[in-house]
Amino acid sequence: MKGIKIVATGKYLPRNIVSNNDFSEIVETSDEWISQRTGMKNRHLSSGEPTWLMGSLAAQDALSSGGIDPLDIDLILVTSVTSDYMTPSAACLVQAHIGAQNAICMDVNAACSGFVYALDMARRYLCFDDIRRVLIVSSETLSKITDYTDRASCVLFGDAAGACVVEAADSLYSSDLGSDGTKAQLLYCKNPFQVKHPFMKPELVPEYDEIISPETEFLYMDGREVYKFAVKALPKAIGAACEKAGIRVEDIDLIIPHQANIRIVETAARTLGVPMGKMYVNLEKYGNTSSACIPMCLDEISKGGLLKRGQTVAVVGFGAGVTYAAAIFKW
Ligand code: ACO
């Protein structure tokens, strides 16, 4: 089976740390409510550094910690829901900043599942010999799209970037990915540009139903419904990936879930019959940083020496779309 190997990891965190108590000064909330309902304590917020720059700095951290020449990167995949430009891709901007001229570049938008989608794409590219090294960068400035008057969502999100370099390996790999666009209205942020040009003909507008409402310029989230979706999708994706790999959930040494809410992680662990010690959690420090959560965890695990080569790892994400994705591979 053609598997993958993570050969380098990196991250970037903005220096501005915002605590639960800081939120109680702008909305009606408390450290107690946020800690108990989410597990979060702090999050880092951008002071203006753009998504592409955060991603580039995380990429540079990964390349320097792995001793990898940027010219040896064949493919750059950037995952983000908060890209600075609709075009060019954030991947091209990262490429220019880090000097990876030999890479082909593209962005992946699968919201909080983005990193695992990109990892799965990387593995598929790595099955062909012309791509030997993939740089995945997940960079999010959720503060750009967060409504800081909505206490139910603003306390959840942070800004960060994580990166890793992936190569092919002769080892176990399995994944389970899924999407359900009929649940798009649970979590969305509308593009501010609308069709408006000098040749508008209102009589030519076809009848259609707006699939996404209510109108808001910020990220809209139906927290309770997302929660219900997440607690089912997370264990289901892990279970399906285990089945495809022919292993048992107990065979996984460490599960790295999307860091949305400690209660989601605990419920998923109970459903899977896995002790919490096998679930990697760092959301108390960074909040939910969308697709950046999982590569940030990978960087902590890698630099902290928390896994030995050959151990079995699962990564699992879920998010807007709705989307979910799990991948199992050897460390
Ligand atoms: N402080 C104090 N009270 C609050 C806050 C807050 N920050 N937020 C909500 N409340 C109140 C609500 O108004 C409500 O009050 P009411 O009973 O008077 O109406 C009460 O707390 C309970 O609200 P719930 O929505 O039932 O609270 P819940 O326990 O479900 O927690 C939460 C809300 C944290 C949003 C939870 O639903 C959740 O984590 N959902 C999943 C969110 C998620 O995963 N999002 C991201 C996925 S994709 C991505 O990462 C972009």
Contacts made by residues 143-149, CB under 8 angstroms, sequence distance 24+ = 143/45, 143/46, 144/46, 144/82, 145/81, 145/82, 145/189, 145/218, 145/219, 146/218, 146/219, 147/216, 147/218, 147/219, 148/26, 148/27, 149/27
Q: Give the model's pLDDT for residue 213.
A: 76
Helix (H) or strand (E) holding 245: helix 223-245
Instruction: Give the model's confidence band at 209: pLDDT under 50 very low, under 70 low, under 90 confident, else very high.
Output: confident
pLDDT of residue 75: 98
Atom of ligand 1 nearest to the CA of 151: 7
User: Domain check: are 111 and 223 in the same one?
Assistant: no
pLDDT band for position 214 (50/70/90)?
confident
Is there a single domain that holds both residue 104 and residue 193? no
Is the CB of residue 180 less than 8 Å from the CB of residue 233? Answer: no
**pLDDT tens-digit map of 230-260:** 999 999 999 999 999 999 999 999 999 999 9
Examine the domain organization and report whether 153 and 229 are in the same domain.
no
The string of pLDDT tens digits covering residues 38-74 is 999 999 999 999 999 999 999 999 999 999 999 999 9
Residue that terminates a domain, selected from 112, 143, 172: 172
Tell me, what CATH number does 85's domain have?
A: 3.40.47.10
pLDDT band, very low/low/confident/very high, at 1 (cuts 50, 70, 90): low
Q: Is 167 helix (H, G, I), strand (E, B) or coil?
A: strand
- The string over 112-147, giving b where at least 16 C-beta atoms fall within 10 Å of a residue's C-beta and e elsewhere, is bbbbbbbbbbbbebbeeeebebbbbbbbbbbbbbbb
Ligand 1, atom 44: nearest CA belongs to which residue? 260
Catalytic one among 164, 189, 258, 261?
258
For residue 189, indicate whether it is catalytic: no
* Catalytic member of 112, 164, 242, 293: 112
Assess contact for 318 and 326: CB atoms under 8 A: no
Q: Are residues 234 and 91 in the same domain?
A: no
Give the closest residue (by CA) to ligand 1 atom 4.
Answer: 152
Q: Is 112 a catalytic residue?
A: yes
Same domain, 57 and 114: yes
The residue whose CA is least distant from atom 32 of ligand 1 is 223
Q: What is the average per-residue pLDDT within 13-37?
A: 98
151: containing domain: 3-172
Residue 26 has pLDDT above 80, yes or no: yes
Q: Closest ligand 1 atom, CA of 153?
A: 35
- Please pick, among 44, 105, 288, 297, the residue that the annotation labels catalytic: 288
Going by alpha carbons, the residue nearest to atom 2 of ligand 1 is: 29
Q: Give the pLDDT score at 208.
A: 87
For residues 258 and 302, membership in a common domain is answered with: yes
What pLDDT sits at residue 28? 97
Give the end of a domain, one of 132, 150, 172. 172
Position 306 pLDDT exceeds 70: yes
Q: Do 330 and 312 touch, CB atoms closer than 8 A? A: yes
Burial (Cβ within 10 Å: 0-12, 13-18, ≥19) of residue 91: buried
| Residue 293 alpha carbon to ligand 1 centre in Å | 19
Same domain, 17 and 33: yes
Chosen domain end from 145, 172, 199: 172
Amino acid letter at 275? P
pLDDT tens digits, residue range 77-129? 999 999 999 999 999 999 999 999 999 999 999 999 999 999 999 999 999 98
Best residue among 109, 150, 224 to mutate for probing ligand 1, ranked by most atoms within 8 Å of CB: 224
Q: Which residues surround ligand 1 with Cβ inside 6 Å?
A: 29, 33-34, 37-38, 111-112, 151-152, 155, 187, 221, 223-224, 226-227, 230, 260-261, 288, 290, 319-320
- In 3D space, the residue among 293, 28, 321, 276 whose CA is nearest the CA of residue 152 turns out to be 28
Q: Whose CA is nearest to atom 46 of ligand 1?
A: 260
Q: 153 C-alpha to center of ligand 1: Å?
A: 7
235 and 280 fall within a common domain: yes
Distance from chain centroid for Cα 210: 27
Q: Is 258 a catalytic residue?
A: yes
Confidence of residue 210 (pLDDT cuts 50, 70, 90): confident
Task: Look at the chain and report how many structural domains it folds into.
Answer: 2
Radius of gyration (C-alpha) of the chain in whole angstroms: 20
Can you state the angle between helices 293-303 and 114-126, rounded to 10 degrees?
70
> Do 151 and 196 reside in the same domain of the chain?
no
Which is it for strands 159-169 and 16-19: parallel, antiparallel or unpaired? unpaired
Residue 38 CA, closest ligand 1 atom number: 34
264-276 residue pLDDT tens: 999 999 999 999 9
* Dihedral of alpha carbons 178, 184, 188, 193, sign: positive
> How far, in Å, from the CA of 36 to the mean position of ligand 1?
11
Kindly report the protein residue whose alpha carbon is nearest to atom 20 of ligand 1: 152
Domain co-membership, 143 together with 133: yes
Q: What pLDDT, in 10s, does the model give residues 134-168?
A: 999 999 999 999 999 999 999 999 999 999 999 99
